[in-house]
Amino acid sequence: MVGAACPDCGRFADRVHDRYQRRLKDLPLAEQGFVIRLMVRRFICGSADCPRRTFAEPFSRLAAPYARFTTRLNGDDDGYLWADTAEVRRTEEAARAWEAVRPQLP
């Protein structure tokens, strides 16, 4: 089991205090809403002089603290996914164009 660094003192902690489920809305998948259910661990900071007793493990690349939406859904991902999204959009436009020009079958 891997731990995390305390955000206040920086000391590495691997003692788990609690777990909770976090729900994050993400980009749609196949035109359906997509929710990530993430199990988050709370760690105990072992430093006696640290003002923070417990802290949650960070998922900074997935979502900001207290956020209910992923960074991809918010558009804060520096565009690494948008190339794929643009390709999907072009494919959908081509399919609509084909529907408009294809011969009507009896």
- Give residue 63's pLDDT: 87
For residue 72, being part of any structural domain is answered with: yes
For residue 80, being part of any structural domain is answered with: yes
Q: Give how many domains the chain has, as a whole number.
A: 1
For residue 106, being part of any structural domain is answered with: no
Q: What is the pTM of this model?
A: 0.63
For residue 95, being part of any structural domain is answered with: yes
For residue 48, being part of any structural domain is answered with: yes
For residue 29, being part of any structural domain is answered with: yes
The rounded distance, in Å, linking the Cα atoms of 45 and 60 is 19
Q: Which are the contacts of 13, defined by CB distance < 8 A and separation ≥ 6?
A: 3, 4, 5, 6, 43, 44, 45, 46, 55
Summarize pLDDT for 37-66 with one digit per residue, the tens.
Answer: 989 999 999 999 999 999 999 888 888 888
For residue 70, being part of any structural domain is answered with: yes
Range of the domain at 26: 4-101
The greatest distance separating any two alpha carbons of the chain, rounded to the nearest whole angstrom, comes to 81
For residue 65, being part of any structural domain is answered with: yes
- Give residue 83's pLDDT: 47
